Structure 1
Amino acid sequence: MAAAQTLIQAELPPDHSTMHPSLPTARAPRFSDLIEAEHTRLSSSGAAKEPNTGIDLSRYAPPEPPSPTASNETWTTALQQASTSAEYLSTRSVNLSLLESYGRNAWLVGNSQLENELKGLEMEVESLKLEQESVEQARRAVQRNAEGELNGLEEGWRGGVGRMIEVLAAGERVKGEILERRRRGAT
C-alpha cells in the first residue's frame, strides 16, 4: 500500500490545485437567470443569516380553523382540507420511515407502486372520458334523429291550433250572423 501511495504521489504535480495535463480544460458554467439570481442572493451579506431559506414548512403545518361563528360550509371545507393534509402527512411519514428503515430501494419500490396505481387511475379516467364521449355522441344522434319527428309534430300542432282558431272565428261569425238575423226579424 505504501509503495502504491508513493507511486501516486510521484505522478501528482507538486501543486495539487492544478489539474493533470491530460485532462481537458473545464468549461465555464452557464447558469440560467434564475440560478444566477439565487447565487447573487446567497452570496449577499445577509443571506446566510436568513433562517427560512429552505423548505417551506408552512405546508406541513395544520390549517387554521375558521372562526366559531363561521358557516357550516366553511367548517366543512376546513375539515376536508385538514383531512387531506393529515392524509398527506401520514403517507409522507410512512414513506420517510420506510426510507429510514429499509433504505432507498424500499422507498423507490413504494414510489413505483404509487406510480402504477396512478397510471391505473389515469387509464380508468381516460376510459370513463371515452365512455362519456360515446354516450354524448349517442345522445346527440338520437336528438338529431328525433328532430325531424319533433318538427313534424310541432308543425302539425301549429296547424291544428290554426285550424281551431279558424273554426272558432267562423263560429263567432255565424253567431254574429244569427244574432243579426234575429234582430232584423224582431223589428
Structure 2
Amino acid sequence: MPLMQSSAEHLPFIDAVPSDQAIATADALVQAELGSGDRAALHPSIPVRTEPQFSELVEAEHARLAAGEARDSGIDLSRYEALDAPAKGDIEGWKATLQKAYASAEYLRGREINLGLLETYGKNAWLIGNSQLEDVLKSLGKEVEAMKLEQEAVEQARKAAQESVRGEMQSLEEGWRMGVGGGGEVEAGSP
C-alpha cells in the first residue's frame, strides 16, 4: 500500500503520545508566534462581541432574579373576568375599563375562532397533525442514528488504514533516523 494515498498530518491511532516537555515546548512556540502573548486578542475574522440590549421589562426581571425575589404571578387572569362599572363621572376609570373590555373581547374572539375550527375539523385533525409531527421527529431520529453509524464506520476505516501502515511508518522513521545519523557521522569525519 503506497504511503502517499492521503495526507494525514496527525495519525492518532499510531502516533505516540507527546511528553509534557514536548507539549510545553509547543505551547511556548505558539505563544512566541502570537507575539504579545495576549490571550484576549482574538483572530481578526472573529466578529466583535456586542453587548445585548434588553427591554425595560426584561431588565426588571433580571433585577428581580438577581435580588432573589419570588415571582409574584404569571399571566394576569383578572383581565378575562367580568368587569365592574366604574362610578358615574369617572372618565379615566371608564377608559381603563374600556381598554380591559377590548382585551377581553379580543381573547374571546380568538377563542371563538379556535373552537369553531375544532368544531369544523374535529379533534381528529389536531390528532393527525400531532401524529405527522411525531413521524417527522422519528424520521429525524433515524437520520441522526444513520449519521452516527456512518461516522463510526468512517472512524473504524480510518483506524484500520492507519494500523495497516504502522509497520511501514516505523520502518521509514527508523530509516530516516539512520540516514540522519549516518549523515552526521560523515560530517563529523570530514575535515
Structure-1-length-normalised TM-score: 0.40
Higher-helix-fraction structure: 1
Q: Which has the larger radius of gyration?
A: 1
